[in-house]
Chain A
């Protein structure tokens, strides 16, 4: 064995956010020897920043609510490239998963009947789009992510989960048969590098919003798991699909929940006009996020933006009254006062579309098993590798995620992956042990960095990467500028390959972690840029000036980016839900 310590488990979960902790809980409770490996203490994970809620047909606000209506909204929201079997699973299992959270102690806000409070969110309807706006997002004030993450951590403490807190996974270990048999990880406190061996490795590493300059995402959102899978040679799905949240605080990027608009807030331009009435006459400010974000950018481009630079719009909340704001949106009041120097009780908040969510990721089936394709273009399960949450593309969000669906995705598929791993291991799944060569291969990247003498500066190259992504792969895209962006990314790749680590110390060396994270950001940026140029249509969050229409004949497909030769192919979208007819593609209007 290579010269490092090995620790063995049945299953390891990489990531201690909502998806990772839900998976770890399921695995631990099912009696498997499980480790949850997380680069920050679990409650510091980015799930903590989710505000508005978790969308689910629990029939509290409307006793007649139906998960099929939620499914319809999600399929439509995805612009029809969400997999309908996965969406069906999420929406139908959802209520059970939400009630489980409540039983664990999640402090949801309540209705007079004592049930969970639900608020309206964008893209929600009753009766398959025919019954008007629904209120389906279960909320704990505007701190639902915080409440959910802490509750899951608490449940894991109760359940006795083994945590590796502040351990940073660097690369997957792949055996001679191509199966995944664990990861290499660094204990940040001591600097020790260890091989964590497992029969099942679950990637729950979240998103990578830090590829953009302006993002609602935490500093830690560097797509580590997706990048590890790319380096292991596995394909990524729909990576061109990035959600820009309509309301990031102008200048700071911090998120202002869609729940603001759900509670009755609305966007205005410099003339004080509620402009969404023009773009989405029915749903107005509660249209899909992609629709609202584009409308905002158009307002700005056409000279109706606010402020001295005319480069943002305003979110008006003061008409809701101080009492409602204090009760329903206390966190937003805090954030606005801190980061926008604005008191929403009195004045509107300056906002601008801001990178928020990665719809793409590691392709998986409903059980979270990672998928690649064989030479004939057929799906093949990757032994030992699983994914859930934002790192995965199962795909329930397709080309555009609906607000409140990410928290549901986390708990439903975190749970599902736990069930699937248990099933596979019970059926006797085994894989060959890794040999020295396999482990050395997985350590190559870390070794190069640790031996670097001089080269590029991490902060500079990272800033350059974020600038390129912001400029060429933002809300609106076109072929020529994406070509230019790709050229610049190629230059950045040569710089990243030459990163230097000046500080070689062991104890809590965050310089080492930041260098490794930057390498991951580059993998994600490239896996985003190439399929973005490849998809020659506009769908969901992918809006091209040179191909402005959706093209179902050619592009009602997932994209699949293959890292080994940097090509893109198409993969079929699932139109076979188990219990009902599929929703056929329709023109998407709000």
Chain B
């Protein structure tokens, strides 16, 4: 199979380029894209990419595989390759540090902006704060985010305004805390988001939903935040 990889080393390359590798894949075994990268790195140690858990929970190896963002460790080659060719590029829209490694600073900054931690000003009880199973269920589909950035880097609105639009991942997390019965900062959180850019730059394109490797739905969460903002305004 032909694997074409985006290469860029700032110390030696003036511009990025695509490098082609031929690789014989073992018969009868559908490898994941990360396995293929590991095999290639054994031959060419200069290829750089992030990886850790190799089971889709740490969010390290988000990349663009034949045009679609996803996690290399849980994407089978059979799914990512087209016409026996696999094209690997860094996640789009953020600066490249080297090869498939992007600078995620802007993405993390948007995450930090939504104050991603529980705020509750009442004194903590001696045991846990109580929460009903129904209240807890509201966090399902939100807390599972792994911060891989596949969604935000697939979002044209985020490409356009990465400094002002919080982006699908950050907004999913914003709603995770808005939806938590234990959080008491709902009004402050909504005020923080109440400007033309933070939330309202989402145009419902739904690329985020399409690529989320955890099957989460940021567009829906963004809709819920909009509703809360609008209800507050009236």
A residues sitting closer than 8 Å to B (CB atoms) are 40-41, 43-46, 48-49, 58, 98-99, 102-105, 107-116, 140, 143, 146-147, 150, 154-155, 157-158, 189, 218-220, 252, 254-255, 331, 334-335, 338-339, 457-460, 502-503, 505-511, 514
Contact residue among A104, A146, A331, A514 (Cβ-Cβ distance under 8 Å from B118): A104
Given A154-B117, A506-B11, A48-B128 contact (CB < 8 Å): no
Closest to A158 in B: B117
Is there contact, CB below 8 Å, between B42 and A459? yes
Is there contact, CB below 8 Å, between B136 and A507? no
Q: Which residues of B contact A503 (CB under 8 A)?
A: 45-46
Alpha-carbon separation in the docked complex, A254 to B34 (Å) = 14
Quote the shortest CB–CB distance from A464 to chain B (angstroms). 13
Q: Which residues of B contact A459 (CB under 8 A)?
A: 41-42, 45
Given A43-B147, A114-B131, A335-B55, A103-B46 contact (CB < 8 Å): no
Q: Which residues of B contact A514 (CB under 8 A)?
A: 45
List residues 86-126 of chain B with CB under 8 A from any CB of chain A: 97-99, 101, 103-104, 108, 112, 115-118, 120, 124, 126
Is there contact, CB below 8 Å, between A146 and B126? no
Across the A-B interface, give the 7 residue pairs with the lowest CB-CB distance, nearest first: A105-B118, A114-B130, A459-B42, A511-B45, A154-B117, A102-B128, A44-B58
Let me know if B146 is at the binding interface, CB within 8 A: yes
Quote the shortest CB–CB distance from A119 to chain B (angstroms). 14
Given A105-B118, A146-B146, A116-B56 contact (CB < 8 Å): no
Can you list 24 A-B contacts with CB-CB less than 8 angstroms, sorted by A residue number?
A: A40-B52, A40-B58, A41-B60, A44-B50, A48-B57, A49-B53, A99-B126, A108-B136, A109-B133, A110-B136, A111-B133, A154-B116, A154-B117, A155-B117, A218-B58, A219-B53, A220-B52, A254-B55, A338-B74, A503-B46, A507-B9, A508-B101, A511-B46, A514-B45
Is there contact, CB below 8 Å, between B59 and A505? no
Q: Which residues of B contact A146 (CB under 8 A)?
A: 57, 144, 146
Chain B 162-202 per-residue mask, 1 if CB under 8 angstroms from chain A, else 0: 00000000000000010010110000000000000000000
Closest to B215 in A: A334
Q: Which residues of A contact B21 (CB under 8 A)?
A: none
Is there contact, CB below 8 Å, between B129 and A44? no
Contact residue among A58, A107, A338, A510 (Cβ-Cβ distance under 8 Å from B139): A107
Given A49-B55, A154-B116, A103-B129 contact (CB < 8 Å): yes
Alpha-carbon separation in the docked complex, A57 to B104 (Å) = 40
Q: Which residues of B contact A331 (CB under 8 A)?
A: 57
Given A48-B53, A107-B143, A335-B55, A115-B118 contact (CB < 8 Å): no
Select the residue from B135, B136, B139 with max chain A CB neighbours within 10 A.
B136
Alpha-carbon separation in the docked complex, A245 to B133 (Å) = 31
Given A107-B143, A507-B10, A43-B58 contact (CB < 8 Å): yes
Is there contact, CB below 8 Å, between B41 and A339? no
Is there contact, CB below 8 Å, between A115 and B116? no
Is there contact, CB below 8 Å, between B128 and A507? no
Q: Which residues of A contact B127 (CB under 8 A)?
A: 58, 99, 115
Closest to B58 in A: A44
Is there contact, CB below 8 Å, between A147 and B117? no
Q: Which residues of B contact A335 (CB under 8 A)?
A: 55-56
Is there contact, CB below 8 Å, between A103 and B124? yes
Closest to A165 in B: B108
Q: Which residues of B contact A110 (CB under 8 A)?
A: 131-133, 135-136
Quote the shortest CB–CB distance from B134 to chain A (angstroms). 9
Is there contact, CB below 8 Å, between A509 and B60? no
Let me know if B54 is at the binding interface, CB within 8 A: yes
Is there contact, CB below 8 Å, between A46 and B52? yes
Chain B 58-81 per-residue mask, 1 if CB under 8 angstroms from chain A, else 0: 111000000000000010000000
Alpha-carbon separation in the docked complex, A220 to B53 (Å) = 8
Is there contact, CB below 8 Å, between A49 and B57? yes
Contact residue among B104, B124, B139, B143 (Cβ-Cβ distance under 8 Å from A41): B104
Is there contact, CB below 8 Å, between A507 and B98? yes
Quote the shortest CB–CB distance from B15 to chain A (angstroms). 15
Q: Which residues of B contact A508 (CB under 8 A)?
A: 48, 97-99, 101
Is there contact, CB below 8 Å, between B144 and A505? no
Let me know if B49 is at the binding interface, CB within 8 A: yes
Quote the shortest CB–CB distance from B109 to chain A (angstroms). 11
Is there contact, CB below 8 Å, between B41 and A507? no
Closest to B75 in A: A338
Quote the shortest CB–CB distance from A515 to chain B (angstroms). 9
Is there contact, CB below 8 Å, between B59 and A108? no
Contact residue among B54, B126, B180 (Cβ-Cβ distance under 8 Å from A219): B54
Is there contact, CB below 8 Å, between A505 and B11? yes
Alpha-carbon separation in the docked complex, A102 to B124 (Å) = 10
Alpha-carbon separation in the docked complex, A109 to B10 (Å) = 46
Q: Which residues of B contact A108 (CB under 8 A)?
A: 128, 136
List residues 1-34 of chain B with CB under 8 A from any CB of chain A: 9-12
Quote the shortest CB–CB distance from B74 to chain A (angstroms). 5
Given A44-B58, A49-B55, A509-B48, A105-B117 contact (CB < 8 Å): yes
Contact residue among A43, A114, A154, A219 (Cβ-Cβ distance under 8 Å from B59): A43
Select the residue from A102, A108, A460 with max chain B CB neighbours within 10 A.
A102
Contact residue among B51, B129, B146, B177 (Cβ-Cβ distance under 8 Å from A102): B129
Closest to B144 in A: A143
Q: Which residues of A contact B59 (CB under 8 A)?
A: 43-44
Q: Which residues of B contact A115 (CB under 8 A)?
A: 127-128, 130
Quote the shortest CB–CB distance from B47 to chain A (angstroms). 8
Select the residue from A107, A147, A460, A511 with max chain B CB neighbours within 10 A.
A107
Alpha-carbon separation in the docked complex, A365 to B42 (Å) = 41
Closest to A140 in B: B143
Alpha-carbon separation in the docked complex, A46 to B54 (Å) = 10
Q: Which residues of A contact B56 (CB under 8 A)?
A: 334-335, 338
Quote the shortest CB–CB distance from A64 to chain B (angstroms). 15
Select the residue from A110, A113, A255, A508 with max chain B CB neighbours within 10 A.
A508
Alpha-carbon separation in the docked complex, A116 to B132 (Å) = 10
Is there contact, CB below 8 Å, between A189 and B117? no
Given A105-B117, A154-B117, A507-B10, A44-B60 contact (CB < 8 Å): yes
Q: Which residues of A contact B54 (CB under 8 A)?
A: 218-219, 254
Q: Which residues of A contact B126 (CB under 8 A)?
A: 99
Known: A49-B55, A103-B118, A116-B128. 15 other contacts (CB 8 A): A43-B58, A44-B52, A44-B58, A45-B58, A46-B53, A48-B53, A99-B124, A107-B139, A146-B144, A150-B143, A189-B97, A254-B54, A335-B56, A508-B101, A514-B45
Is there contact, CB below 8 Å, between A510 and B11? no
Given A114-B130, A157-B112, A502-B53 contact (CB < 8 Å): no
Q: Which residues of A contact B42 (CB under 8 A)?
A: 457, 459-460
Contact residue among B12, B128, B180 (Cβ-Cβ distance under 8 Å from A58): B128
Is there contact, CB below 8 Å, between A147 and B136? no
Quote the shortest CB–CB distance from B132 to chain A (angstroms). 5
